[in-house]
A and B are shown apart, each in its own frame.
Chain A
Amino acid sequence: MSRETATSDSVADRETASDDRSDGRIDRRTLASVRRVGLYAALLGLVAFYLVPVETGLVTSFKTSEAVRTTLPFLPPGPGGATIEKWQFAFGALSNGMVNSMLFTVPSTLLCAILGSMAAYGLTLVDWRGQVAVLALFIAGIFIPYQAVIIPLTEFWSVWVELDERLAFLWALPLLEEHHATILELIVTHTAYGIPICTILFRAQYQTMSWEMIEAARLDGASLWRVYRRIVLPLSVPMFAVVFIFQFTQVWNEFLFSLTIIRSVSDPAASVTLILSGLGEALEGVDFPLRMAGAFVSALPTLIVYVLFSDQFAEGVRV
């Protein structure tokens, strides 16, 4: 009897012990899931933080001036206060700037990528003493504040070069107009200042490339150009995507060169950022719905590119 009770006791003991153990497991599991919930709550809270300025901008851009005052800033407008008038106006005001921005962004992005890839190839290929100095100048070129060059730059374009007069014979041709001289100046400027970052991006890839194949090709009598065209270029297609996307965004978003080279918002060559900076300003105050609509219209190309290619953009940013 006593033995029985003893055994039953011990069974009970064992049971409670195992209960304890499973409790512990549950505890740990609940702790882990509580942690997991906390993690996702934090991540979602951060999503809200990063998206609120964009969200409030978006809903505001569809409001009438009246609705802006009567509705909460993060809520969509009621049925009476909704309008797409501001978007239409913003499109009208910015369309010319969009064309101009495209006209200088695309060529300078292409030029930058090609020149940067060539420079990186030339600098990775060789082993000579001065190489580090040249490379340091390229890297420092990324970080130089534009303020340090902006006065000579305006002096150079407006007094020394005067492209619009020098190319006067061109403006008689169809499709070409005088303000395209300014566009050309912007292409050259953006290319020159974009080369350093593009070079460094390409170099990072070329350093990890397999050199056996290239040396073998050279031993077989392939010229440097041939090696570049046949081996290096095909291998750098993914990096070209990164550079295109990153540089396109950079040039499209740039403002200081627009402000100092184009100067006037009413100039026919005015870029989209320049027009946006003066949009919706009036004596009676700022027209916020219009400004928000304008902000979205002018950010549209970069937003599309970013949503489609965020991985490439992230890679471009990292260097």
Chain B
Amino acid sequence: MRDELRAVVERWRDRGTETGGDGAADGDGATKTDGGTETGGDTATDGGTETGGDTATTGEFRSERSRIRRILDRDIVQSAPFWLPPFLLMGFFVYAAIGWNFAISLTDYAGFGSIDYSELGFENYRAMLSDPAMWEATRNTFALLVGFTLVCLVVGLVLAILLDREVRFGRTFRTIYLLPMSLSFIVTAQFWMWMYNFNFGIVNQTLGAFGLGPYSWLGNPQLVLGSVIFALVWQFSGYTMVVYLAALRAIPNDQYEAAKVDGASTLRMYRRVIVPQLKPAMVSASVVLVLFALKAFDFLYAIWGYRPRRGADILATKMIREAFNKQEWAYASSIAILLFALSLAVIAPYLYQQHRQGNL
């Protein structure tokens, strides 16, 4: 329907701009199709008066004008006032800034005076390779990324399946499970610092009741990353749950009925019939989770400041520390480029896949 109408509009437009004679009728057509935009209205009335002259020069003039008109009529030009200003604002702050960041990463700017772009080189990237702290941060980043994403996907799936079928107060449960997501990381970090507190925290007190611990959850290099992942799963599993729930609700009811009639057990039904259909939801949720894990900074900063405990330093925290604590701006911006490349490696295939499936 939309395409047909578009075709009609297109045909009218062409008639209105290209045929020279019959001023009145054409003029009418043009005003109608152009939908009263300034340019459309103007040229249409012009066309009406000019056809009276009908000489060679006005003919040329008209073909010139009609070309401009055709350009102005294009959808891209007509819709530009709507999407171009937001696009430029966003593009400047996101994409121009990334380019600028790359330029800074090629300098040796370290906080004195202004940035000197005359000598560019890849020194910072070479320094990155030989920095042992970089390797540790990269390893921690990947551990956080994998652990956090997998656990979140599993917990979210369990929550969604529990809530999916005829649960009374289902909405209340969902609201409670999603609640941590509405809090800022600075706030949740306060809560978990107290939960993990060595002497008085709930975690150690509960374990103590079973004769375990106490453990230094936020101090022991072997435990810190796990503790951080646990707290972040607490905050983010509600998100995966919501994504899964939307996908579960889209599965038609008769599939559940059919599985029940076949006598499949609930567990079997979910494993064989339902969960395989959740793959698209899983992919999009894990893209978001991975990207989040890459930039998880606020939470770590709120607990430890610029320098997280050994074992919990990730690329995002290291980058901010190099820049805003040590003033190693150029080196920090090269770490930023690495972070950008890592997230691009996740986004690009996802966008490409979405494009191929026609979802863009």
Contact = CB atoms under 8 A, between A and B. Distances in A.
Interface of A: 39-40, 42-43, 46-47, 49-54, 56-57, 60, 68-69, 72-74, 115-116, 118-123, 125-128, 130, 132, 134-141, 143-153, 155-156, 159, 189, 191-193, 195-196, 199, 211-212, 215-216, 218-224, 226-228, 249, 252-256, 259-260, 273, 276-277, 286, 288, 291-292, 294-295, 298-299, 302-303, 305-307, 310-311, 313-314, 317-318
Contacts of A228: 82
A259 B301 CA distance: 10
A56 B202 contact: yes
Contacts of A72: 205
17 contacts: A53-B180, A72-B205, A123-B79, A143-B343, A147-B319, A148-B337, A149-B98, A211-B1, A212-B2, A221-B35, A222-B36, A292-B190, A298-B186, A310-B174, A314-B242, A317-B178, A317-B181
A128 B319 CA distance: 40
Contacts of A305: 182
B320 interface: yes
Q: Which of A46, A130, A226 has the most CB of B within 10 A?
A: A46
Contacts of A135: 360
Given A72-B205, A122-B82, A192-B90, A143 B291 contact: yes
Contact of B191 (A57, A128, A317): A57
A276 B174 CA distance: 28
Contacts of A39: 162, 167
B261 interface: no
B114 to A, nearest CB: 7
Contact of B200 (A68, A196, A295): A68
Interface residues of B, number: 109
Interface stretch (B60-68, B70-78, B116-124, B268-276): B70-78
A119 B82 contact: yes
Interface stretch (B50-58, B220-228, B328-336): B328-336
B14 to A, nearest CB: 15
B298 interface: yes
Contacts of B180: 50, 53
B184 A219 contact: no
A37 to B, nearest CB: 13
A151 B332 contact: yes
A276 B195 CA distance: 18
Given A249-B182, A253-B183, A273-B184, A56 B36 contact: no
B286 interface: no
Contact of A57 (B78, B190, B360): B190
Contacts of A51: 176, 179
B162 A215 contact: no
A268 B139 CA distance: 39
A291 B190 contact: yes
Interface of B: 1-2, 5-6, 8-9, 31-33, 35-37, 74-76, 78-87, 89-98, 100-101, 104, 114-115, 159, 162-163, 167, 171, 173-188, 190-195, 197, 199-202, 205, 234, 238-239, 242-243, 246, 287-288, 291, 294-295, 297-298, 301-302, 315-316, 319-320, 323-324, 329, 332-333, 335-337, 339-340, 343-344, 346-347, 351, 355, 360
A302 B1 CA distance: 43
A114 to B, nearest CB: 9
Given A46-B159, A47-B176, A215-B6, A286 B340 contact: no
B190 A152 contact: no
A299 B184 contact: yes
Contact of A189 (B93, B167, B242, B287): B93
